[in-house]
Amino acid sequence: VTGINTNIGISIVMTAILYGTPLVFAGIGELLAERSGVLNLGVEGMMLMGAVMAFLASQRIGGPNWLILLVAVLAAMAAAAVMALIHAFVTITLRANQIVSGLALTIFAGVIGLSSYIAEDNRLGGKAGKHQFTDLNLFGLKNVPVIGPILFHQSAIVYLSWLVVLAAVLYLYRTRTGLHLRSVGESPQAADAMGINVARYRYAHTLAGGALAGAGGAVFTLEIATNWIDGLTAGAGWIAIALVIFSFWRPDLLIVGAYLFGAFTSFGFDLQARGITSIPTEFWSALPYVMTVVALVLVSVGSVRRRLGTPAALGIPYVREES
Amino acid sequence: VIRFVARENVPRWLNVAVPLASIVLAAIVAGIMLLATGHDPLTTYRDIFQKSITQPGAFSQTLVSMTPLMFTGLAAAMAFRMRLWNIGGEGQLYMGAVGASAAGLFLHGLPGPLLILVMIVTGVLAGSLWASIPGALRAYFSTNEILTTLMLNYVAANVMYYLIFDSTSYWRDLTSPSAKVFPQGKYLVPAANWPQLQLGGVAIPFGLIVALGLAAALWGMIRATRFGFEMRVLADSPAVGRYAGIKTRRKVLSLMAISGAIAGLGGASQIGDFSHVLDPRGLEQAGFGYTGIVVAALARYNPVSVVVTSFFLGMLVNAGFALQGPGFPIGLTGTMEGILLFCVLGAEIFTRYRVSIRRRHAVPAAPAAAPPAAMAAAATDGEGR
């Protein structure tokens, strides 16, 4: 967790990156699912499942710190992928409405659902985190002015999120599978005619999206929050879904948006930590949500003329025409 | 190979049998989950039934839990029916509660019936104005209403918290000794308390009667008015609607306003019938708006069915409150709602499609027959255990 740096500018960037990291993971995950044509509104629920499983694992497992954190993140990814599998089965195989199924997933796994159930069954409420990610000193360069803390003094999971973004860019635009994925999202009929298994692509990317949302949830319990509270993601999953729209379904723009919204989330904390309390906390708490609405309006005004990047088959179940 | 073949017409009995079967399936799935986490499903189900129906006073309590869910359920059903995904019922209900409590506090000198009427009107107005923000954004800029309505829920919650916890607003109690230690809202005068109807030992809240009337009115509106007809046309095919000269933009605006008004009325009922004070924490923890989505989806967006599904979920929510504790974690309510919704949603395919198991083309008969046989064997295996 970032301490109060002497330079306010750098400390704002550092907290923005910290709070933006869950959005990077969950946003890239949702982006992959949507590129295959599956809208998954269950991100908030999947993140909370990831968060609770990571916390539970970090409480129960013994061993070296790095191994516990690794297992905790993997447990989060697995649990959230199972949640995504439910959505995939209901919408891809059983062809149910993706919007309603996604909402069902958020209710099922979310703040009044399974994540809270697991937390209460294991008495996690209010318990302090035992193992947390700490900032590394990469190549011993953390004291280099400005870029030192930003580039070389982050935690392992932040570096992992950068790798995920890089991998997503390469995957989408530089690999054959990525090309096939985009065609499944644009025109499943054409993809099917080319011999691409549409259902398999959709399952795989919905599950990958779930796993990444789970990793995003793990960032909350293993780095941001110091103890467990039901619903601690507080709408981050929904902001991640909105980010996919602002970034026009492009991973490189998504990470920029994620850090911007990380800043909106954490800016109030930065000021309050410096004793600036004249503006009520509720204003700062509401800021990221208000800015999400503003950003959605801005891109919808701009994209009415030209639909920038929305996968054409997004939200539509694919049913092969009978010959 | 198992494949789904579209049905040309749906037999009537299927529309009853499939939802019933999916409720049974949901009970089984939830039971397995309870067993897996070390709870006894039969005890849990018996407790739910006792706490919501059979124990003295339990039935009245279920009606209390059902009332807000019927409002938020109707609000969601009206919008979802036209594929207008208003998931902002939560925030619209908060704003209705803010509006109604302001009216109840400010006009405390009015005679009861008039005061109640004013509370209803302000609740309706506040809810519909709040819903009109995403409504207008959707109508004029085609901004995704799923996300804007949801974001505004968080904003509305912050507005409520600000009014009670972080300001010296009109809603906040600044005089009583307890309020000096813990911030709380001002209580309304008794004249602002909505009446109850006593019927053979069961207390029926006034809000429930209003909600029942509303469900009937909405059903009539969809069936018998021009607005309802145009709404149904747009729901089936937006393109046909536009071709027929139906003003889509105006429909979106008015439908969002109506949906928000219904949720806002739910907020007014929450103040007038039950809490008599603006209680941000209580409202936020209850999550009536989100449960309303489950109510509406289970009712397949039919206002009359909402009466049934809101009762059903009212039972569950009420039992959840009553049973809260190690045997019945808070999260169990949402978990069971989610399972129920998935089962009903997934099973819908059996009303729309026929399942046909047939051999793959151009593949020799023997290997093709193997998978179904293997699956049948696996199924009997599973039952045997």
Distance CA B281, CA A122 (A): 24
B330 touches chain A (CB under 8 A): yes
Residue for token pair 């937390």? A119
Residue B199 backbone phi and psi in degrees, to 5: -135, 95
B38 touches chain A (CB under 8 A): yes
B335 touches chain A (CB under 8 A): yes
Query: Is B338 close to A119, i.e. CB distance below 8 A?
Result: no
Closest chain B CA to residue A230:
B331
Of B349 and B303, more confident: B303
Chain B neighbours among A 174-213 (CB < 8 Å)? none
Q: What pLDDT, in 10s, does the model give residues B264-304? A: 999 999 999 999 999 999 999 889 999 999 999 999 999 99
Distance CA B259, CA B131 (A): 8
A86 touches chain B (CB under 8 A): yes
- Nearest-CA distance from B64 to chain A in Å? 20
State the pLDDT at residue A89. 96
Q: What pLDDT, in 10s, does the model give residues B39-75? A: 899 999 999 999 999 888 899 999 999 999 999 999 9
Rg (CA), chain B: 24
Q: Are B193 and B272 in contact (CB under 8 A)?
A: yes
Query: Is B38 close to A121, i.e. CB distance below 8 A?
Result: yes
Average pLDDT, chain B: 88
Distance CA B257, CA B253 (A): 6
Closest chain B CA to residue A98:
B345
Position A236 confidence tier, pLDDT thresholds 50, 70, 90: very high
Q: What pLDDT, in 10s, does the model give residues A62-88? A: 889 999 999 999 999 999 999 999 999
State the pLDDT at residue A307. 60
Q: What percent helix, strand, coil does chain A show, rounded to 5?
A: 70, 0, 30
Query: Is B152 close to A289, i.e. CB distance below 8 A?
Result: yes
Interface test with A, best of B141, B295, B301 (most A CBs within 10 A): B141
- Nearest-CA distance from A134 to chain B in Å? 31
Q: What pLDDT, in 10s, does the model give residues A163-192? A: 999 999 999 999 999 999 999 999 999 999
State the pLDDT at residue B375. 40
Neighbours of B278 (CB within 10 A): 30
Query: Is A282 close to B162, i.e. CB distance below 8 A?
Result: yes
Report residue B261 as tokens: 């008004």
Rg (CA), chain A: 20
Of chain A, the percentage scoring pLDDT greater than 90 comes to: 67
Model's pTM, two decimal places? 0.90
Report the run of H or E that residue B205 belongs to, with start and end. strand B202-205
A314 touches chain B (CB under 8 A): no
Q: Are B62 and B318 in contact (CB under 8 A)?
A: yes
- Distance set, CA B4 to CA A202, A258, B238, B353 (Å): 18, 41, 27, 6
A and B: number of Cβ contacts within 8 A: 158
State the pLDDT at residue A174. 95
A300 touches chain B (CB under 8 A): yes
Q: Which positions in chain A touch B341 (Cβ < 8 Å)?
A: 100, 104, 107-108
State the pLDDT at residue B364. 45
Of B359 and B161, more confident: B161
Distance CA A237, CA A220 (A): 12
**Option in A96, A281, A297 nearest B345 (CB):** A96
State the pLDDT at residue B275. 93
Query: Is B331 close to A116, i.e. CB distance below 8 A?
Result: yes
Out of A131-135, A283-287, B138-142, B152-156, the most confident range is B152-156
Of B218 and B37, more confident: B218
DSSP structural state of residue A135: B
Q: Are B183 and B164 in contact (CB under 8 A)?
A: yes
